[in-house]
Chains A and B, each alone.
Chain A
């Protein structure tokens, strides 16, 4: 079982560049999430989606955009990368019903220089 797959695993960006972090899941989960983890901190929610065509902001959405055209895919777009976006990014998915856990991808380590 693949679960949640993120690509790339590592990336170095220059300030002002753009990129898309890819996330796909094969568990037929309706709910998908993007989190970022900074050193010594917990994961913070960037964006989430409750189904294809529906997305909403999380706690730290500034500088990011998302789309959800299919149930499986939930890409995260960084426009005009800034050093503050240096972080580890995790995609997750869940059934979204009461008392169910989220499943996480292995993460993308992004450095903006």
Chain B
């Protein structure tokens, strides 16, 4: 039972254009969503997050949008740069009642390639 899904295994974008990575979830208890970026042979690094009380969060070139009714979130990267080429993981956690202990449920990941 895949509670967090990234249906696009890969995405190819031209440098300077927008990259849009999508993520869907099924567990309505999730209330905190994160995006991680992972380079080969390295651990995931935190990129940006959003709480369920918001529908948008921006940090420089990165914006995350949350549509709770559709149980969908997306990560926008504008403008895309070759250094953004990596695997991007969507993750979610549920803090309801404070018993989730920060456990994350991950999507399968999307490989982003930004061409110069």
Contact = CB atoms under 8 A, between A and B. Distances in A.
Interface in A11-43: 31, 33, 35, 40-43
Contacts of B32: 98-99
Interface centre among B9, B41, B43, B105, by most A CB within 10 Å?
A: B43
Interface residues of B, number: 27
A88 B34 CA distance: 21
B101 to A, nearest CB: 5
B44 A43 contact: yes
A100 B49 CA distance: 9
Given A31-B102, A42-B109, A58-B103, A101 B43 contact: no
Contacts of B46: 101-103
Contact of A44 (B45, B49, B106): B106
Interface in A82-113: 90, 92, 94-107
A106 B42 contact: yes
Given A40-B9, A43-B89, A33 B103 contact: yes
A45 interface: yes
